[in-house]
Chains A and B, each alone.
Chain A
Amino acid sequence: MADLGYFSLALALVVALFTLLAALLGARGRPELVAAARNGTFALLGLTSLASAVLAYAFISHDFSLEYVAAYSARGMSTFYTLAGLWAGNEGSLLLWSWVLALMAAVVLWQKPRRDFLPYILAVVAANQAFFLLLMLSVANPFERLPFALADGRGLNPLLENPGMLFHPTTLLAGYSAFTIPFAFAVAALATGQLGEEWLRPARRYALVAWLFLGVGNILGAWWAYVELGWGGYWAWDAVENAGLMPWLTGTAFLHSAIIQRRRGMLKVWNMVLIIVTFNLCLFGTFLTRSGVVSSIHTFGISSLGPLFLGFIFLSLLVPVILLYWRLPSLRSEDRLDSLVSRESSFLLNNLLLVAIAFATFLGTMYPAISEAVGGVRVTVGPSFFNQVNGSLFLVFILLMGICPLVGWRRATPRNLLRRLLIPATAAALVVVLLIIWTRTWYALVGFGACAFVLATILLEWFRGVRARHRKGENYFTAFFRLLWGNRPRYGGYIVHAGIILIALAVIGSSFYKVEAEDSLNVGESFQIGKYTLQYEGMSTSPTAKKEVVSATLQVLNNGKPAGIMAPAKTFHVNYDSPVSEVAIRTGPLEDLYVIFLGSDQIGGLAAFKAYINPLMVWMWIGGFLFLLGSVIAIWPERRRAPVPA
């Protein structure tokens, strides 16, 4: 059975190479070869699906003669987590990447792209498929057999047994993989010389899908890191987190600058550069995540994936850059910026900021490797570097988010702009004045003010649209939904902005106003954190065959009034030597109370706890939901020709 999986991968590699060749030859006006490449692309979907199904079956049927299955699953695990083994390790992740790409390519074919683009799109997809299949057939074979079948597998690390394991790695990987498609459109545009609307429209649509996956993957990662102890809060700026953030940032920049090109025919080269960079950051992110180069001190050289990946990234940069250089003369802007105060300018600045944040993140992440290569010493930068640099950049970015939609295209008159700024600016000022009463952290004040400003501009924009429709005789409710549905990209975009603002609120609140307290208590003793008193009531253990849960009971008093019980716990697994912590979280609209049970002494008398008050955290998840909702609305297919998104 497993041999069938390996065989389908081997056959897929042959098909991918054939498709690549047929597509490239067919591009020179031989439609029968392009048709063959089309069929090859569908065949790739069939073969990668078959391989994935075989691997899934191997997991379900506990085929421990396969090394990969034995390494990531065991008998007695729930079906869900057994299947999570499919992407728990390198080999499976690569297969998932390949399968998602095959699926996306089939969707592209089904949508019937331009005839002259088709061969190049198929060639780019096939080249990527060939690379990933080659990895799986050489250094990361998911169907690798053990010399003898084991009785039981190692199982999944209990730390990973969390719903996050089902969605976070998959969405992130799907996002990485899906960015191949807009990149393929860009290459096709460069190869054919059709450098306008023809490539940008479909590329932006597919980029939006990939970007949505990446965004959701990052938010889920943050949520998982928040509820599971061991990754240091919702965002620790570690290399793997940054790997997922960077393409999302440059992808965001692309989504915005594509609008400018569509409206004004400007920034053509910049858009090409952005999509090329985004795709390569996706490859790089996959490489960082799957090779473990960063968390270990021995940079580049630990996994056999390293050189292959870097070589492929080099190719993926080289080919489009050569094409881009060759096409430069025909990528002249059709128009120029008329005024410094215009929507184009503000978009450009927002783009620069996003790229700057991505660049700073890249620099910080890679600094140990860079400093070693350049100076022979390893230097790392900690979270404070990222917080300072990116925090400041994000602050300006948020302000712009509010200003951008208010500025007119081409040339905004300052007077007009000031008039439109009046209400949001007043709202922001009000918020700042109100907050000054209880906080003097100027940085946070500016941040909250900026958030208030943006939210006000969004609500105002929405209100004006609804009012205009209401005057034409619709009731408010209908007006609201027709407005939204009538221009989905635009209003979906606003909802996304609102989501990002809520996330920003949570980040500012939890960064500047976090309260910590820790203590070691005997039964009956208590400790204070903010307005809460936590009283230790006792400990209970519930052993089962596979694990033992030790949980501590804490009585919570809010301003002296009883406010329920919290029970942080530690789970000791029989075959895993460090315990898994279950933090206890009380979520409220203004703050989370977050308690960790650190452990107890041998006799069981003294128990140690650490508690945090994390202000505004719940808004991060609400904002994440809005981000998802707004993106889906914006992506929702148009029946006919779309109105140009503003």
Chain B
Amino acid sequence: MKKWKYILGGLIVFAALGFLLYRGFQGSAVYYYTLPELRQNGTDLDGSRIRVAGNVGTQTISWDARTRTTSFTIVDGEDHSLQVVYVGVVPDAFKAGGEVVVEGKYSISGPFEADQLIAKCPTRYVPKL
């Protein structure tokens, strides 16, 4: 058995994997920011697709039954906040005060248009006080 056949086969497999990873990556890589970082780079990011994490501001969630749109504000510990609108199914774990990750289009002038909303899987929960 000639070794070179195997080396060649292995190389083909690796090249294919590399190509797949590269393509998959091009299609879905997104920058991920916290609110303070967003404030620093805000102007450069206008109109681009990003992912933002933070907490849902208390008393900021509103839902419109006609348009099935959820609007809320993401806040962090300091005084940063970001308006978000999201159309789609809201996961059960989503709640005021909870951690949330949104992905979508960021614009300086208007609210963040999210098309993905991930609420942290709640292994713990804090009851209403």
Measuring CB to CB, which residues of chain A are less than 8 angstroms from any residue of chain B?
Answer: 71, 88-89, 154-155, 157, 159, 228-232, 238, 240, 292, 295-297, 336-340, 349, 352-353, 356, 359-360, 363, 367-368, 377-386, 388-389, 392-393, 518, 520, 575-581, 596, 598-601, 606-608, 610
Instruction: Report the tally of A-B residue pairs with Cβ distances under 8 A.
Output: 154
Across the interface, do B13 and A352 meet the contact criterion of CB distance under 8 Å? yes
Render B19-31 as a binary contact track against A, CB cut-off 8 A, 1 for contact: 0110111011111
Contacts of B25 in A (CB 8 A): 381, 385
Across the interface, do B21 and A599 meet the contact criterion of CB distance under 8 Å? no
Please judge, given known A-B contacts A380-B30, A385-B27, A577-B128, whether A599 and B20 are in contact too, CB under 8 Å: no
Contact of B31 among A238, A295, A378 (CB under 8 A): A378
Across the interface, do A157 and B31 meet the contact criterion of CB distance under 8 Å? no
Q: Which of B50-82 contact A (CB under 8 A)?
A: 51, 53, 63-68
Please judge, given known A-B contacts A393-B20, A576-B128, whether A610 and B29 are in contact too, CB under 8 Å: no
Across the interface, do B92 and A356 meet the contact criterion of CB distance under 8 Å? no
B33: nearest chain-A partner, CB-CB: A378
How many Å from the CB of A127 to the closest CB on chain B?
28
Contacts of A384 in B (CB 8 A): 24, 27-28
Contacts of A600 in B (CB 8 A): 65
CB-based closest 3 A-B pairs: A230-B92, A578-B95, A601-B65
Across the interface, do B20 and A389 meet the contact criterion of CB distance under 8 Å? yes
Contacts of A608 in B (CB 8 A): 65-66, 68
Contact of A388 among B5, B6, B24, B123 (CB under 8 A): B24
Is the C-beta of B108 less than 8 angstroms from some C-beta in chain A?
A: no
Across the interface, do A581 and B92 meet the contact criterion of CB distance under 8 Å? yes
Across the interface, do B32 and A339 meet the contact criterion of CB distance under 8 Å? no
Across the interface, do B65 and A606 meet the contact criterion of CB distance under 8 Å? yes
Pairs across A and B, CB under 8 Å, 9 listed: A157-B125, A232-B118, A352-B10, A360-B20, A382-B103, A577-B128, A578-B98, A598-B68, A601-B64
Across the interface, do A159 and B20 meet the contact criterion of CB distance under 8 Å? no
Across the interface, do A231 and B121 meet the contact criterion of CB distance under 8 Å? yes
Contacts of B39 in A (CB 8 A): none
Is the C-beta of B122 less than 8 angstroms from some C-beta in chain A?
A: yes
Across the interface, do A229 and B92 meet the contact criterion of CB distance under 8 Å? yes
Is the C-beta of B114 less than 8 angstroms from some C-beta in chain A?
A: no
Please judge, given known A-B contacts A229-B92, A577-B96, A599-B63, whether A382 and B28 are in contact too, CB under 8 Å: yes
Considering the chains assembled together, what is the distance between the CA atoms of A578 and B64 in angstroms? 16
Across the interface, do A89 and B124 meet the contact criterion of CB distance under 8 Å? yes
Considering the chains assembled together, what is the distance between the CA atoms of A552 and B67 in angstroms? 18
Contacts of B23 in A (CB 8 A): 388-389
Contact of B32 among A229, A337, A379 (CB under 8 A): A379
Considering the chains assembled together, what is the distance between the CA atoms of A297 and B20 in angstroms? 27
A575: nearest chain-B partner, CB-CB: B127
Q: Which of B68-125 contact A (CB under 8 A)?
A: 68, 89-96, 98-99, 101, 103, 116, 118-125
Contact of A88 among B63, B103, B120, B123 (CB under 8 A): B123
Contacts of A381 in B (CB 8 A): 24-25, 28-30
Contacts of B127 in A (CB 8 A): 154-155, 575-576
How many Å from the CB of B127 to the closest CB on chain A?
5
Contacts of B33 in A (CB 8 A): 378
Please judge, given known A-B contacts A384-B27, A610-B89, whether A368 and B32 are in contact too, CB under 8 Å: yes
Across the interface, do A360 and B21 meet the contact criterion of CB distance under 8 Å? yes
Please judge, given known A-B contacts A238-B118, A389-B21, A578-B94, whether A229 and B29 are in contact too, CB under 8 Å: no
Considering the chains assembled together, what is the distance between the CA atoms of A538 and B51 in angstroms? 38
B54: nearest chain-A partner, CB-CB: A297
Contacts of A336 in B (CB 8 A): 1
Considering the chains assembled together, what is the distance between the CA atoms of A336 and B2 in angstroms? 10
Is the C-beta of B48 less than 8 angstroms from some C-beta in chain A?
A: no
How many Å from the CB of A223 to the closest CB on chain B?
16
Please judge, given known A-B contacts A157-B123, A230-B119, A577-B95, whether A385 and B24 are in contact too, CB under 8 Å: yes
Given contacts A229-B91, A392-B20, 9 further A-B contacts (CB under 8 A): A295-B118, A296-B53, A349-B9, A359-B17, A379-B29, A382-B103, A388-B28, A576-B125, A608-B65
Across the interface, do B93 and A578 meet the contact criterion of CB distance under 8 Å? yes
How many Å from the CB of B41 to the closest CB on chain A?
10
Across the interface, do B93 and A159 meet the contact criterion of CB distance under 8 Å? yes
Across the interface, do B125 and A154 meet the contact criterion of CB distance under 8 Å? yes
Considering the chains assembled together, what is the distance between the CA atoms of A596 and B32 in angstroms? 30
Considering the chains assembled together, what is the distance between the CA atoms of A278 and B120 in angstroms? 27
Across the interface, do B99 and A295 meet the contact criterion of CB distance under 8 Å? yes
How many Å from the CB of B48 to the closest CB on chain A?
13
Across the interface, do B29 and A340 meet the contact criterion of CB distance under 8 Å? no
A607: nearest chain-B partner, CB-CB: B65
How many Å from the CB of A489 to the closest CB on chain B?
28
Contacts of B10 in A (CB 8 A): 352
Contacts of B68 in A (CB 8 A): 518, 520, 598, 608, 610
Across the interface, do B21 and A363 meet the contact criterion of CB distance under 8 Å? yes
Contacts of B94 in A (CB 8 A): 230, 578
Considering the chains assembled together, what is the distance between the CA atoms of A520 and B87 in angstroms? 13
Across the interface, do B89 and A598 meet the contact criterion of CB distance under 8 Å? yes
Across the interface, do B128 and A575 meet the contact criterion of CB distance under 8 Å? yes
How many Å from the CB of B99 to the closest CB on chain A?
7
Please judge, given known A-B contacts A240-B121, A295-B120, A339-B1, whether A232 and B128 are in contact too, CB under 8 Å: no
Contacts of B101 in A (CB 8 A): 295, 297
Contacts of B30 in A (CB 8 A): 379-382
How many Å from the CB of B20 to the closest CB on chain A?
5
Residue with the greatest number of chain A CB neighbours at <10 A, chosen from B30, B63, B91: B91
How many Å from the CB of B25 to the closest CB on chain A?
6
Render B29-45 as a binary contact track against A, CB cut-off 8 A, 1 for contact: 11111100000000000
B41: nearest chain-A partner, CB-CB: A377
Contacts of A337 in B (CB 8 A): 1, 6
Considering the chains assembled together, what is the distance between the CA atoms of A228 and B13 in angstroms? 38
Considering the chains assembled together, what is the distance between the CA atoms of A30 and B30 in angstroms? 59
Residue with the greatest number of chain A CB neighbours at <10 A, chosen from B17, B92, B98, B116: B92
Contacts of A380 in B (CB 8 A): 29-30, 32, 51
Considering the chains assembled together, what is the distance between the CA atoms of A363 and B123 in angstroms? 25
Contacts of A229 in B (CB 8 A): 89, 91-92
